[in-house]
Amino acid sequence: MGHQIAIVRAGAVARYSGAHLVWAGMDVTCIDPWPEHVERMRKHALWVSRATDVAEFSATVRALHVTDVQQSVKQTAVDIALVCMKSYDTTSATTMIQQGLALEGDVVLLQNCMNEGTIASIVGCGKTVGCTVSSISVNLPEPGRMHRGESTLCVSRGSCG
């Protein structure tokens, strides 16, 4: 069985990443506060298009509203949690997913700012992975659809000191 991956309060960047993780064979759950988006993902999957000549594709994910998380994490532990939202929501999102994090699970910060210290203060430095998204051009034009221009990722572990 593969890693259980949760995308917590995911914006367009994390959903785009999640769609590619599904495409690579991973088990992905998207957790979101936007009811219309959760319902669209449940019924029609995630759809991704790109500015280049790459064909549009879809990825079937498990979609949960934030109010469903507590019951869900009691059933299946999360191995990797991608935390990706505005900086001011980092604490609440990390606290929410911490209760379902597997013993050896990690939280990956997938934001355009550095909040490793915030996440590490909740789950510990050894469970915190920083990933800065730069040169990004991903948007969410409607529920269940992401469009990507170009982006670059930089990943670091253990720098939360």
CATH at residue 56: 3.40.50.720
Query: Residue 102: its pLDDT value, please?
Result: 94
pLDDT one digit per residue (tens) for the chain, 161 residues: 578 999 987 677 777 888 889 988 999 999 988 899 899 889 998 888 876 777 888 899 999 998 898 777 668 899 999 998 888 899 999 999 998 999 999 999 887 677 889 999 999 999 999 886 665 566 666 776 666 666 554 455 555 55
The secondary structure of 36-72 as a DSSP string is HHHHHHHHH-EEEEESSSPPPEEE--EEEEGGGHHHH
Domain hosting 110: range is: 4-157
Query: Residue 148: its pLDDT value, please?
Result: 67
CA distance 17 to 15: 5
Query: Residue 27: its pLDDT value, please?
Result: 92
Beta bridge mates, 58: 47
- C-alpha closest to that of 93 among 32, 17, 22: 32
Number of CB atoms found within 10 A of residue 122's CB:
17
Query: Residue 134: its pLDDT value, please?
Result: 61
* DSSP state for residue 90 in the 8-state scheme: H
Query: Residue 120: its pLDDT value, please?
Result: 94
Query: Residue 135: its pLDDT value, please?
Result: 59
Number of domains in the chain: 1
